[in-house]
Chains A and B, each alone.
Chain A
């Protein structure tokens, strides 16, 4: 920084100090007089070719996390998501068969760097044991309870059968059907039931597990989300 000594400019006669011989800010070259590099970064801080600039598209991703089931863990996760402005579609939570461990499944709509940030920020929460994006071919399923008007019970029953639904409540005015399946299947089913007049609807949001031996949340150790998987005896 400055290697000048204030003493060298210290006043001796009570007035202002002697003038600094170096250029004053107003005498220094202004922005227009300087060279500026041509390069640019995009909003994610990645260097880009300005001509071929391509922004990341956001995509739907399922994030699964194993967490310690302690008070406030859901508040920590949801607070993180809202504070960092991540676009979240759904969040489900439920216990595992390991005492004190729960699984949180989140569906988000984010760019790749955004998804990376969600995983990294989640991983910093103390109660989060492991977290990661669930592989694209994972089994995902959600449950919906659909209450429709009971004007035509036979037709409701027929549509319900088409989607492997189950009637869980039937009264003179409404019929409630329970359906499970992946996101697209549920959306289709709801579309099919709309003709009867949907009175109320409750969806759980998807939950997911990776296929085969792949751990659902990367880094997840055997036995942390269920009984140990050895069956030697």
Chain B
């Protein structure tokens, strides 16, 4: 929200009398601090940037604007790469996805007022998915705060419920330490977004206080090991189980515990389900894997979590899209619940064996503590039968249009296992998760808890930048998007073109807000109120207008050539796949229903 050209008042009113001095101050201030983590600074803004550099931040996504200008000015001389986004929401999603892929906190910047409020959706998204992210927002000068000044919003107030913690910077001398602490807090314990609101006077003021080494606040970086006695008790329960199943959540991926998870499940022959954020924690082509459970999860995963007598749940918060109705969720299971956040224990599902700690460390503890594998041969056999009985399939009649699932499979076939998939939210997201075989963590990048339409394109930008930073320019980044989702954030395509980012965007265009249409057909007597999107632009031509490669596909025989052309194209490509508007996502557990009663046909809903 760049405002300065149109609003000279902004700069006229807020600069402190000594602004010129502070801008002109020499950077060779005192350097006699002992072993600082950051270099010498002369302003609050320089302290902010020094703290970010010292914390290891390499990339920032943001949009310029009046109140954040001092920080941007300090970034001018920084090693941190700044990626200008078209909209602040895009900056937040890109930072979020960057963090998911890189395993480091993402960083986004915005100015005060509308800049900050535009970040809100992305911050809330990161909060729901426990993604580490730091948001820095400009704020009107301290003396104007509370006066309803131009572009003033109570950013700390607005973002309080959607951050792990947020800060109002109250002086140039301490702002660097605050930013460093916020960055560390974002990734400490259970990750999540943090925010520092930066009044313009604080960033403009002179200071020679170099930020010290950043640490998270006391008490926020918990013991990674679970209580050994509790581990022993859980191990006994696992040994005695007859129908054990693992449920690996997003926490397994965040804790980089995929190896520990694989070792545990394979050592003891425990079948594995995942949550949707847990996709990639366990290879879906493994014999033990039943893929993900929940509303649109596989029938076999839902059968397994319904009939298990011992659910080993790691890094999951038992979201309602996973559990369905609580009364029928794993109703005969003793629950072993591993989580780093004690507040998740017994929040939604009672934990018979609570294990509070880091997913990887506790899984290692469990692997060591279990003395013999549970006697589960018959159970594994039953799980295999469910896989045979309820495969994820779809019909492809000659007289019906191109099926979206076929497009997902075609991309999966054409790309390597380390390909990163990003999505928007809706039917296309479900097909992308169902019909792609994931095998590695941090390759599935989606909006789970908040369900943010429009996440896909900016997430692809963030994922691409992260992969490039990690020295993996040959990894493919594929964004599956819906027509509705794409229309919400497609302006970020301009960023991909400007930065020459090699991403492929597959719009599964069914000219509907498809998931809503599906629910209207199932639960609202087919009354398609506001879900009909026949007014969509021609996305291939729009892509060309942005400077990207634009393709359109209507038939099966065009799919493979278009996929190949788009993947081969060195830069952003968009394929507008016109798919069957009537296709539904199945199986489906109706909201609040029993997972074991998933519908495999529309008339069962």
Contact = CB atoms under 8 A, between A and B. Distances in A.
Interface of A: 1-7, 9-17, 19-20, 22-26, 28-31, 34-47, 71-72, 75-76, 79-80, 83, 113, 116-117, 120-121, 123-126, 129
Nearest to A10: B560
Nearest to A118: B343
B391 A72 contact: no
Chain B interface, >50% SS class: loop
Given A14-B557, A39-B331, A41-B328, 8 more contacts: A2-B409, A11-B557, A15-B556, A20-B396, A36-B328, A45-B318, A47-B333, A120-B343
Contacts of A4: 409
Contacts of A45: 318, 326, 329, 346-350
Contacts of A10: 410, 556, 560
B596 A23 contact: no
Interface string B106-148: 0000000000000000000000000000000000000000000
Contacts of B532: none
7 contacts: A1-B285, A3-B285, A24-B394, A36-B306, A37-B307, A47-B333, A126-B217
Contact of A14 (B185, B393, B556): B556
A23 B393 contact: yes
Contacts of B437: 1-3
B174 to A, nearest CB: 13
Contacts of B343: 117, 120-121, 123-124
B160 interface: yes
Interface string B543-557: 000000000000111
A6 to B, nearest CB: 4
Which 6 pairs, one residue from A and one from B, show the smallest C-beta to C-beta distance?
A: A39-B331, A6-B409, A120-B343, A45-B349, A31-B597, A46-B350
A75 B600 CA distance: 47
B29 interface: no
A74 B406 CA distance: 54
B329 A31 contact: no
Interface in B571-605: 586-587, 594, 596-601, 604
A35 B597 CA distance: 9
Contacts of A3: 285, 437
B291 interface: yes
A36 B330 CA distance: 11
A114 B440 CA distance: 38
A37 B350 contact: no
Given A1-B298, A1-B437, A37-B307, A25 B586 contact: yes
Nearest to B306: A37
Interface in B401-452: 406, 409-410, 412-413, 434-438
* Max chain B Cβ within 10 angstroms of own Cβ: one of A20, A40, A41, A113: A41
B160 A76 contact: yes
Interface string B258-294: 0000000000000000000000000011000101000
Contact of A28 (B185, B299, B333): B299
B161 interface: yes
B341 interface: yes
Contact of A1 (B291, B303, B587, B604): B291
A36 B594 contact: yes
B77 interface: no
Contacts of B328: 36, 40-41
A124 B390 CA distance: 42
